[in-house]
Structure 1
Amino acid sequence: MADPLSITASVVGIIVPALHGTRLLLEDLQQLSDAPKTIKRLTDDVQSVHTTLELLRGVEDGDWKSLGQNVAEQSKATISSCTQACILFRADLQKWTRHSEGKLTWLDRANVGFFKKDQAKAMSEQLQSCKLAINLIVGVATLYSSVRNCHVTEEIKKTISTQQDEVNRAITTADRQLVVVETKLEELNLSSDDDDAAGFGQGKDEVLRQLEEELKGAKASQKLLNELLSKSQEEAIAKAAGNQTGSITVNFGPQNSGFQAGNINGGFNGMTFGGK
């Protein structure tokens, strides 16, 4: 079994550059004071992802141990894809707004607000998917934390059921998004040069690169969500609670006179003192 400290360290090693990447993109977006609505919505999405990443960084070692190596690996894949998408979009944004400093020129505003609107929208969708996945990681981790040193109560069972519903809805959304992205990629790859001139123009490579990264992120999210669904089952959580609250039977034998001492870490039951 993997060391929980090493699991946490490996995930944090992905979260830190993700926080850096989202912060840089956020700063660039916030500098566009008169940006179109699509960019303003994108700014909100970047801020939301940054906030959820901070929450994820607070997940404790024991909870990562409960979530397991598979969840950790798929979490890293999902976050890494989101980070790469932010880096690529930031580079594109700097090209699109190269004529502007702070306030967008009419040319750059038209470029971002009209010609690049679909790319900004696609970026928002990927960020929203990433945020949803991260929130669910934190939610399931919180479930495991809540049963530490206690049993699965009726209230916790209701929370488990709610969490499962949320994960299932997220899986449905992820499946739908995956189909949409695959369709867009197929259409783009089949498009002719005339179509490129009419639609994507010189930005076809940008769109293709972004869609490929979005597809990578969608597949990672899909795997992650299925792992989270498995980990959010009542049986899995009850098993984790049982492992953390294992009982200890203490038997002092027939010699119940005199002084007998020892240390017991954790709960205990079934104490038998025997008797003469």
Structure 2
Amino acid sequence: MTEPLSITASVVGITTAAIGSVKFLYTTIGNIKDVPTALGNIRSDLQAVEPVLQELYTVLESEDSQVLLIDDIKGAVENCNSACSTFQKSLDHWMRHATKYKAFWAEWTDRVKVGIFEQGTINVFKGRLNDCKSTLIMALSTSSVLLIALGRLTVTRQGFMMKEVKDSMLKSNELRLDKEKARANRELAAIESSLKQLSVSIRDAVNEESKRNLEQLLEEMQEQKASNEVFRKTCEEALFETKNIHNGIEQEIKNTKADNNGRAVAGLINTPGEVRNIKQNISDTSARGGSFAGAGIIQDLNLSIPSSGNE
């Protein structure tokens, strides 16, 4: 099993690469003379996502990085880095067709107005970039909310916060996550509709060049769908974690037993982080003949180590 520290280190490396890709693409577009508005607007999107990546890097370097949903964070940052690299290649391809910037961009802009290839690529890239930004913002903000609710992040001069205020803060985060999840679902429906239309266009393509361009756009849109799935999953997991803290966990555990040298455990065995308001109803737990039986919040238990008697 991969250790948490090594996972965090890998995300730090990917985040560093993504920050570099964002900066490089931002500079590249900025150096283009007479850049079309549709392309120039991408710089604003890049400018918006960079500080979020920088904040993520800072949090990953802190002691509370384990609160983040690391798997989803890694996927979001990888998508961001991949999106920037893919768009950089498309941009290089478009620019290779020019001998002079002005002449090229005038021709390119006209084609964008009547075609779907370049504009489609731009829209997909903006969608992937936005999904990455939204995923990171959701994870980072939820991380802060949970740290405050768990008392591990001080936000008042007195160093404590009333339960009512914490409950209100957690409830607000739940509502916000519900809205973001609904938005992600709407975006997914739009992406799937576009994918279907694009598949029909590929089938009816008038020539090989059009077919290749459409197939490339289809691949890029499938990557956008993957980015959306990471965003939706982050909302779901962040909502689950928030509700765990806010509403607590209820468990009813009965008849936990181990016989004939067997082992049995039950109830939040390796619970990550801290959980408040746990309600458990545990009964009939027993162990016989040197076996082990446990119930309720047992962390870091390795049952592969033979026991030497009742524990």
Short-chain TM bin: 0.7 to 0.9
Q: 1:167 to 1:130 in 2, by over 3 A?
A: same
Number of residue-to-residue matches in the alignment: 240
Residue of structure 2 equivalent to 1:252? none
2:233 paired with 1:223: yes
Q: State the shift of 1:13 in Å.
A: 2.1
Asked if 1:136 is matched to 2:138, the reply is yes
Residues 140-166 of structure 1, C-alpha deviations (whole Å, 9 max, x = no match): 121233221756633232222222222
1:25-64 matches, cutoff 5 A: 25-60=25-60, 61-64=62-65
CA distance in 1, matches of 2:230, 2:239: 14
DSSP 3-state at the match of 2:59: coil
Normalising by structure 1, what TM-score? 0.75
Instruction: Provide Cα deviations, 1:249-276, integer angstroms capped at 9, x if missing partner.
Output: xxxxxxxxxxxxxxxxxxxxxxxxxxxx
The whole-number CA distance in structure 2 between the counterparts of 1:172 and 1:233 is 17
Residue 203 (structure 1) aligns with:
213
Check the 8 A contact 1:22/1:46 in 2, yes or no.
yes
Contact 1:25 1:86 in 2 (8 A): yes
Deviations 1:10-45 (A, max 9, x none): 321221111121112111221224222221221111
- Cα distance change of structure 1 residues 100 and 151 upon mapping to structure 2, 3 Å threshold: farther
Structure 2, unaligned stretches of length 5 or more?
154-159, 249-272, 278-311
Q: Would you say the 8 A contact 1:96–1:111 is kept in 2?
A: no
- The percent of aligned pairs where both chains have the same amino acid is 22
Matching residue of 1:18: 18
Distance, in Å, in 1 between the alignment partners of 2:93 and 2:275 is: 53
* 1:112-123 to 2 correspondences below 5 Å: 115=115, 116-123=118-125
Structure 1 residue 212 displacement after superposition: 1.6
Classify 1:26/1:111 alpha carbon distance in 2 versus 1 (closer, same or farther; 3 Å). Answer: farther
> Structure 1 residue aligned with 2:167, among 153, 157, 160?
157
Residue 78 of structure 1 is matched in structure 2 by 76
Q: Look up the match of 1:169.
A: 179
Distance 1:184 1:143 in 2: 36
Contact 1:42 1:124 in 2 (8 A): yes
Matched, 1:66 2:67: yes
Runs of at least 5 residues in structure 1 that lack an aligned partner in the other structure: 244-276
Letter in 2 for 1:148: R
> Structure 1 residues 154 and 207 mapped into 2: Cα distance closer, same or farther (>3 Å)?
same
SS at match of 2:226: helix
Distance 1:143 1:213 in 2: 30
From the superposition, tell whether residues 226 and 184 of structure 1 become closer, same or farther in structure 2 (CA, over 3 Å): same
Distance in 2 between the 1:200 and 1:4 partners? 47
Bigger RCO of structures 1 and 2 (CA < 8 A, at least 6 apart): 1
Normalising by structure 2, we get a TM-score of 0.67
